[in-house]
Structure 1
Amino acid sequence: MHTFSIKYGKGIVDVCIPERNLLDVIKNNEKDFSKTEEEVILDALNNPIGTEPLKEMIKPGEKVCIVISDITRAWQKMSTYLPYVVDALTEVGIEDKDILFICSVGSHRKHTKEEHRLLLGEKLADRFEVIDHDCWDKDNLTYVGTTSFGTPVHVNKMAFDCDHIFLTGAIVFHLLAGWGGGKKSVLPGICSYETIMKNHALSLSPVLGEGSNPFVRSGNIANNPLYKDMLEAASLVKPSFLFNVIMNSDGKIAAAVAGDFIEAHEAGCRIVEELDGVSIKEKADLVIATAGGFPKDINLYQTVKTIINAKEAAREGGAIIVLSECSEGFGNDDVQEVIQNYDTMLEREKALRENFSIAKYIGYFVSEVAANFTLILVSNMDEALVKRANIKVVKTVEEALAIAYKKHGENLKTYLMPYGANTLPQLI
């Protein structure tokens, strides 16, 4: 019997797996992170991919818009790398008055002044103000064209009117776009609500009843219409420069890329693939995964990242046990609505198509996983709240295992994923 101690909420729980059943423990690949964060940032800025150096690209007096991520992505340590981006602009003669910071909130809420200071950090907070993008403000949106997918692209006018647009952020696996970072700073970041919803609706298959588009998933851009649509939209805006970081499991800036918003981003995706993409030779009968404790398992909305990754390691019809305390419940009313208010996946799909939102899609996705697998949550959530979606909820790992063994038998090939939110299993 193998016993593993894994994070759950703010504590630790033990998971016991029979030795004969354990296929592997899926975790991040080992990489050399000996460089300091400063060395990583400067190396990327001084060696842009696919573009000229900044000194040859930008002239004094030109206006530069720096698009930054919102507070939900503060983990990417913007306050650490943004001063270096500003210093690079200062060195080529760009004055503070010609730098505009716009926060790519997409359809998220606006920020407080305190949150803006956290994003910029003390070195920049007294020099610059941050403007939150407003996807509903039609007076500050400008139409730049329509993609081949029929998405009308309306972007932030203040950003578009600048001579240069710099995209900043972090690259991670993303459940819809394949990869975070890059083009996502434009769409959904600084686009209209109409543009965002039209794009994100591509996450569903074209035909009613077929559910999620199988090509719209983490780590995939091939035939992914949502990704391609985002890329077309960003290309209409013509960003001049990109700076994206890659974080390791310890929350350190482990790598960074800069330069052309397509080429540099692709280089960054390869780094994430090497770090967090984990090859598996077969799918398991049972996958046991945890997000990695608080705050990654604070609610079901955040837990979807773990469910997405765990699903990739489980055989169709198998069992998935996810340890997620969910101390704040669903974390979003739309997630709750889709899970709680319908009895069938077709009803959920119809409702989602009629009024699409990201949170509703997350509720739909979790329900879809529960329809195709035995999904068991070890959680503080009330099972009655998710029962209509066929999600089992128990208080202990032992109870979860008992359900899985009773339904599927005790000799289950098993994967353990102690960092489920950050590792993507990939069948080879």
Structure 2
Amino acid sequence: MARIPLRSRAWHGDEQIELPVPDAWHVDILGPADAPELSEEGVRQALSRPHAGPSLTELARGKSTALLVIDDLGRPTPAHRIVPHLLVLLEAAGIGADGISFLVATGSHRQLTHQEAERKLGAHIVARYPVHSHDAFDDDLCDLGRLPSGMPVIVNRRVLDADLVIGVSCILPHTLAGFSGGGKIMLPGCAGILSISELHSFEAKRQRAQVEPSPRRPDARDVIEAFAERAGLAFSVNTVINSRRQVAAIVAGDFRAAHAEAVTRAVEVYRTEVPDELRQTADIVIANGYPLDADPVQVSKSQWPRRLFPQADMILYDPACDGIAYHGWSEFQKASVTNMICGTISEARTDGRYPAPLSALLARPLLRRLGHWRLRAEAERTDVSYRAYREERGTIHTNTIAKRVMAKRARLVICSASFPEWKRVVQFPNSVLLPDWEAVAAAGYLPDEPRRVAVIPCAPLQIPA
């Protein structure tokens, strides 16, 4: 049999695997443009010589405390390669080890365990410095008022207590913000659930990998950056990774300018040529969830190939290693029909989503004010925290009306050892969940007949050209 080489299990071994397929298949592996790994000297120079704004040494001079804000295991950022260089710069500027701490910007994801923090940062870092995981539902949060857009700036107090705040994150295509990274480490990363809910419910969305802002109104990326400025993000480290989850580029400095430049580089690295002829003739598409295959919640980020291959059957290969399908914002949105309806306002404010008259009606400021009042009331009485998930309380494990309405009903084969069956029923009711590749073959989804097959080897990263 022929074999398809893939990377798999980010943060859980980062293995090289091979999927056997029939010899009769004609397989096209559509990899990204990609880039080599950045050397240690390259990392050091990128951090010590920022793309824009003052250097970290200049910013740290005269300060007593620094907070390094990092993303969680739902993102592929190899922080353990970056953080040691930042610590050298901070200590050289006079901030000692007792003045340095870490905050894991989980947004509304779950908190990291001690062992997971060690994977992200390195055991020696976790042993020496305080590391805290943000909790959007039950943390010490501060309300800094509202932005002109109406967004409430509710942020973790640790961000405000630090003299210097540094964000370390990764540039990935993202539906809502266009790309992750930059100010997104603050919103939703360190924000309260009300701010997170308003971002997703009321702000105009950027499409996945959209660089240009909305021409008609401030969009989610604009609001994210305004939130980050008020919260006090002083220095941003934006990584671009390659197909092996290695650092391919780093752009650091002022969070707006550094993010914009990092996006430019990411587009070059993630660009994927997809022939027009293959889009129409492919019989099967195999999308690999690496490097976002540690967290079952991230499977949605591998779904974009469906639009490019309308005639093809889709197989998603995603081990979903941790098996914990928890996402606080998603559960909050789907806890009630009211919360779900509030989300339509962001769709209405997004260009091209709704007919113009309906879009204008739903985007009226009065509806936002009413929606804010309603979401605040819901946030006070709806417990969809990770604690509620663990204790199986509330609506998290219930197939609510909103979940049934918002379920993705396209046919899909999910090959995953750890993706929860209850989550499949709720999110992908027409899908088939099989535990391994042998089971996919046994179920007849790998027919020993001529087939044209497209393989997307690191789907969450890739940007079709």
Q: If the TM-score is normalised by the length of the shorter chain, which range does it land in?
A: 0.7 to 0.9
Inter-partner Cα distance in structure 2 for 1:368 and 1:51: 43
SS across alignment from 1:389: coil
- List alignment gaps of at least 5 residues for structure 1: 206-212
1:399 to 400, 421, 444: 444
Query: Match of 2:315?
Result: 321
2:319 paired with 1:306: no
Query: How far off is 1:241 after superposition?
Result: 0.8
RMSD: 4.4
SS across alignment from 2:445: helix
SS across alignment from 2:165: strand
2:369 paired with 1:375: no
Query: How far off is 1:379 after superposition?
Result: 5.7
Inter-partner Cα distance in structure 1 for 2:219 and 2:23: 40
Inter-partner Cα distance in structure 1 for 2:324 and 2:343: 17
- Worse-superposed segment, 387-396 or 128-137: 387-396
Inter-partner Cα distance in structure 1 for 2:414 and 2:114: 37
1:66 to 65, 68, 87: 68
State the one-letter code of the partner of 2:31.
Answer: K
Instruction: Spell out the pairing of 1:25-174 with structure 2 (5 A cutoff).
Output: 25-33=29-37, 35-36=38-39, 38-73=40-75, 75-137=76-138, 140-174=140-174
State the one-letter code of the partner of 2:48.
Answer: N
Inter-partner Cα distance in structure 2 for 1:274 and 1:151: 33
Deviations 1:10-66 (A, max 9, x none): 8633345978x77x5310214344x42x11211111220111223333323443222
2:264 paired with 1:262: no
CA contact (8 A) 1:323 1:377 kept: yes
Deviations 1:290-349 (A, max 9, x none): 3267x85577533322223x234224x6543333466887834989999x99xxxx9996
Seen in structure 2, the aligned counterparts of structure 1 residues 100 and 43 have a Cα distance that, compared at 3 Å, is same
CA contact (8 A) 1:301 1:335 kept: no
2:464 paired with 1:425: yes
SS across alignment from 1:304: helix
CA contact (8 A) 2:296 2:321 kept: no
SS across alignment from 1:396: helix
Inter-partner Cα distance in structure 2 for 1:166 and 1:76: 15
SS across alignment from 2:32: coil
Query: How far off is 1:90 after superposition?
Result: 1.3
Instruction: Spell out the pairing of 1:223-238 with structure 2 (5 A cutoff).
Output: 223=214, 225-238=219-232
State the one-letter code of the partner of 1:5.
Answer: I
Inter-partner Cα distance in structure 1 for 2:404 and 2:300: 7
- List alignment gaps of at least 5 residues for structure 2: 10-14, 345-374, 387-395
Seen in structure 2, the aligned counterparts of structure 1 residues 325 and 255 have a Cα distance that, compared at 3 Å, is closer
CA contact (8 A) 1:83 1:123 kept: no
Query: How far off is 1:237 after superposition?
Result: 1.9
State the one-letter code of the partner of 2:142.
Answer: T
Query: How far off is 1:166 after superposition?
Result: 1.0
Seen in structure 2, the aligned counterparts of structure 1 residues 300 and 164 have a Cα distance that, compared at 3 Å, is closer
Inter-partner Cα distance in structure 2 for 1:65 and 1:387: 37
CA contact (8 A) 1:41 1:81 kept: yes
Inter-partner Cα distance in structure 1 for 2:117 and 2:318: 30
SS across alignment from 1:262: helix
Instruction: Spell out the pairing of 1:263-282 with structure 2 (5 A cutoff).
Output: 263-282=257-276
Aligned length: 393
Inter-partner Cα distance in structure 2 for 1:327 and 1:65: 29
Inter-partner Cα distance in structure 2 for 1:92 and 1:326: 41
CA contact (8 A) 1:26 1:425 kept: no
CA contact (8 A) 1:330 1:336 kept: no
Inter-partner Cα distance in structure 1 for 2:119 and 2:456: 32
CA contact (8 A) 2:201 2:342 kept: no
SS across alignment from 1:44: helix
Query: How far off is 1:352 after superposition?
Result: 7.2
Query: Match of 2:390?
Result: none
Inter-partner Cα distance in structure 2 for 1:376 and 1:56: 52
TM-score by length of 1: 0.74
TM-score by length of 2: 0.69
SS across alignment from 2:303: helix
CA contact (8 A) 2:197 2:329 kept: no
Seen in structure 2, the aligned counterparts of structure 1 residues 319 and 110 have a Cα distance that, compared at 3 Å, is closer
Query: Match of 2:369?
Result: none
Instruction: Spell out the pairing of 1:339-354 with structure 2 (5 A cutoff).
Output: none
Query: Match of 1:191?
Result: 191
Seen in structure 2, the aligned counterparts of structure 1 residues 296 and 175 have a Cα distance that, compared at 3 Å, is same
State the one-letter code of the partner of 2:80.
Answer: S
